Amino acid sequence: MSQTVGDYLLDRLATWGVNRIYGYPGDGINGLMGAFGRSSNGKRPEFIQTRHEEMAAFMACAHAKFTGELGVCMATSGPGAIHLLNGLYDAKLDHQPVVAIVGQQARAGLGGNYQQEVDLVSLFKDVAHEYVQMAYEPAQIRHLVDRACRIALAERSVTAIIVPNDLQDADAVPTPPRKHGTVHSGPGYTAPRVVPAETELDRAAEILNAGERVAMLVGQGALRATDEVAAIAETLGAGVAKALLGKAVLPDDLPYVTGSIGLLGTKPSWDMMQYCDTLLMVGSSFPYSEFLPEEGQARGVQIDIDGRMLGIRYPMDVNLVGDSAETLRALMPRLARKEDRSWREKIEGEVHEWWELMERRASEPADPINPQLVFAELSKRLPDGAIISSDSGSSANWYARDIKLRRGMMGTLSGTLATMGPGVPYAIAAKFAYPDRPAIALVGDGAMQMNGINELITIAKYRGQWSDQRLIVMVLNNRDLNQVTWEQRAMEGNPKFEGSQDLPDFPYASYAELLGLKGIRVDSPEQVGPAWDEALAADRPVVFEAVTDPEVPPLPPHITIEQAKALTSALIAGDPNAGQIIRQSFRQKVGEFFTGR
């Protein structure tokens, strides 16, 4: 049998180094599924079947986040393609290189209101705006794949190829004919070395040298610049705050790392931004400007590989387009070590107090378990090389504040889209990319009920492929859409609306056992530590179900007067859980006072 377009398309992706495609079948892509089935030389990508196309897109995004390589997902025409969208937006907003390949109805039927016919070019026009193309001709496939892969990598963006189902079965044309109107492309992309001009580096150095109180904010763009960020912070006597996607840039046990920033952030990060006179931002598009210095307070230098992301959060004095590590290395010889270390010492003192406060907050009693205890007990036990994913929800607060990442670990979440649902699929992608490393997903019960429960089936299906069986899905069973419940209280001044917020219970741990995984359920504080030991020593993936108290507030690091007022009015308006909340919030606030401020 001669090579089909489907065969050729997969082989071309393999040429690009793609060895795994996450997806879900349908008659729009049967010609591609057939090609996976014919994979005889072992070089074609492996097909990983998820429970839902959105999960395939999350996994492709996570593959890109954890490896820096292309992530690829595949779905059928119409409904399958539509299902991909949210996961693709997650990748787009967090600037990850992801290629989506979707089917379409047969060419002859297009424009005929045919079954499952959706205008996919228009549908993907926003999410894959850098490159979305429909294939009409076998001779196009080579350059469509080459361009979709190269543009996704070069622009750190989502691209999409739409392949009508009849075209997939047509004979491949690996080399387009040599004639007018054909395109002759080749594979391969390597990232350039991007360093700002010398004059701009000099200007940046002048500002950084002049500052007396330098604050650094680092994001995911600095993930591969750990040593450079640490060296610069040391020279400048700076503290370093980390945007959520950049949590792994510096280990949390460094004394000058103030931790996360923003609503999910820490008080040392907040204070550092309040009092700094110079801001150095590296590889971050952290969106909340109210957590940065007030305009005019600080002089600013920003480094980003993408010129579009410069100067949009704070009016910077110098905007440098460059690779984080290369640019910081180029800055280094221009900087003078700050001999007055008092600013740095002040920050270190606050960081030390903050971690003590975190420990106290985690050990405060709650009904039945304080969620912070679950994270604090895990943090102490994190195995080397752990890869952590957090879902959106209250778990993102505790992940941001209570988890101490050490060097060599990775951690991520849906940073910019902040969508529910990526926790479990991200962890699955971590296991495929690094089968010998432990992966831990930190997920709310709402996100589990949305999709996580179903992806446990995917874990049960594929776990035999992973040499290290440690994959733990930790579920905060609080029977509440807790993050939003608190937002309703603190931001809107509304009481909890039980109709939208209460969740039904579900036996997460028992369900895991039904699937042949291990289930552990804890509902009292003294069980938590030993349960983590058991989970981390298990011979199979674990669902760690923690019954936690929804009335422990995921408080912002500083509560504004407006928010405090709103909270009070929510409680007066008759929040069903008012008594318990007042007790918990009071304990947390008292804790802050005793840290000496």
Ligand X SMILES: Cc1ncc(C[n+]2csc(CCOP(=O)(O)OP(=O)(O)O)c2C)c(N)n1
Please identify which residue in 285, 483, 488, 584 interacts with ligand X, judged by CB under 6 A.
Answer: 483
CB of 374 to ligand X, least distance (A): 11
Q: Does 476 bind ligand X (CB under 6 A)?
A: yes
CB of 452 to Mg ion, least distance (A): 11
CB of 212 to ligand X, least distance (A): 40
Please identify which residue in 478, 501, 527, 585 interacts with Mg ion, judged by CB under 5 A.
Answer: 478
CA distance 302 to 204: 9
Place of tokens 């080399």: 175
Site map 535..574 versus ligand X, x via CB under 6 A: ----------------------------------------
Contact stretch for ligand X (CB under 6 A) within 26-34, 231-239, 333-341, 438-446: 438-446
Name, in order, each residue with C-beta under 8 angstroms of 63's C-beta and a sequence gap of 6 or more.
Answer: 20, 22, 69, 70, 71, 429, 432, 433
Contact stretch for ligand X (CB under 6 A) within 46-54, 166-174, 418-426, 434-442: 418-426
Please identify which residue in 482, 488, 527, 548 interacts with Mg ion, judged by CB under 5 A.
Answer: 482
Contact in structure between 425 and 93 (CB atoms under 8 Å): no
Given the complex with Mg ion, which of 121 and 503 has the nearer CB atom? 503
Given the complex with ligand X, which of 389 and 419 has the nearer CB atom? 419
Site map 383..402 versus ligand X, x via CB under 6 A: --------xxxxx-------
Number of H helices, E strands in the chain: 23, 18
Measured CA distances, 288 to 70, 264, 304, 313 (Å): 29, 11, 17, 8
Which residue type sits at 58? Answer: F
Q: 430 is written with which tokens?
A: 């971590």
CA distance 375 to 402: 6
Site size for ligand X (CB under 6 A) = 19
Q: Does 420 bind ligand X (CB under 6 A)?
A: yes
Given the complex with ligand X, which of 110 and 450 has the nearer CB atom? 450
Site size for Mg ion (CB under 5 A) = 6
Q: Which does 104 bind (CB under 5 to 8 A by kind): Mg ion, ligand X, none?
A: none
Site map 342..381 versus ligand X, x via CB under 6 A: ----------------------------------------
Q: How many CB atoms lie within 10 A of CB 376?
A: 22
Q: Does 584 bind ligand X (CB under 6 A)?
A: no
Q: Does 421 bind Mg ion (CB under 5 A)?
A: no
Residues 436 to 475 in contact with Mg ion, rule: CB under 5 A: 444-446
Place of tokens 């060296």: 231
Residues 300 to 339 in contact with Mg ion, rule: CB under 5 A: none
| 286 three-class SS | coil
Q: What are phi and psi of 160, to 5 degrees?
A: -145, 140
CB of 34 to Mg ion, least distance (A): 42
CB of 423 to ligand X, least distance (A): 9
CB of 409 to Mg ion, least distance (A): 25
Given the complex with ligand X, which of 64 and 481 has the nearer CB atom? 481
Q: Does 488 bind ligand X (CB under 6 A)?
A: no
CB of 86 to ligand X, least distance (A): 7
Q: Is 299 exposed, middle or buried (0-12, 13-18, 19+ CB in 10 A)?
A: buried
Q: Which does 350 bind (CB under 5 to 8 A by kind): ligand X, Mg ion, none?
A: none
Q: Which does 305 bind (CB under 5 to 8 A by kind): ligand X, Mg ion, none?
A: none
Alpha helices in 332-481 (DSSP H): 342-363, 371-381, 394-402, 423-433, 445-447, 453-462
**HEC per residue, 68-100:** CCCEEEEECCCHHHHHHHHHHHHHHHCCCCEEE
Q: Does 72 bind ligand X (CB under 6 A)?
A: no
Which residue type sits at 269? Answer: S
- What is the per-residue DSSP string for 289-307? GGGSPPTTTSEEEEEESSG
Given the complex with ligand X, which of 75 and 484 has the nearer CB atom? 484
DSSP letter at 500 equals H
Q: Does 87 bind ligand X (CB under 6 A)?
A: no
Which of 398, 419, 420 has the alpha carbon at shortest distance from 411?
398
User: What b/e readout covers 505-527, taking b as 16+ CB neighbours within 10 angstroms?
Assistant: ebebbebbeebebbbbbbeebeb
Q: 370 is written with which tokens?
A: 């304080």
Place of tokens 């089935």: 37
Please identify which residue in 478, 488, 577, 588 interacts with ligand X, judged by CB under 6 A.
Answer: 478
Given the complex with Mg ion, which of 265 and 423 has the nearer CB atom? 423
Q: Does 548 bind Mg ion (CB under 5 A)?
A: no
User: Which residues form the interface with ligand X (CB under 6 A)?
Assistant: 391-395, 418-420, 444-447, 476, 478, 480-484
User: Which residues form the interface with Mg ion (CB under 5 A)?
Assistant: 444-446, 478, 480, 482
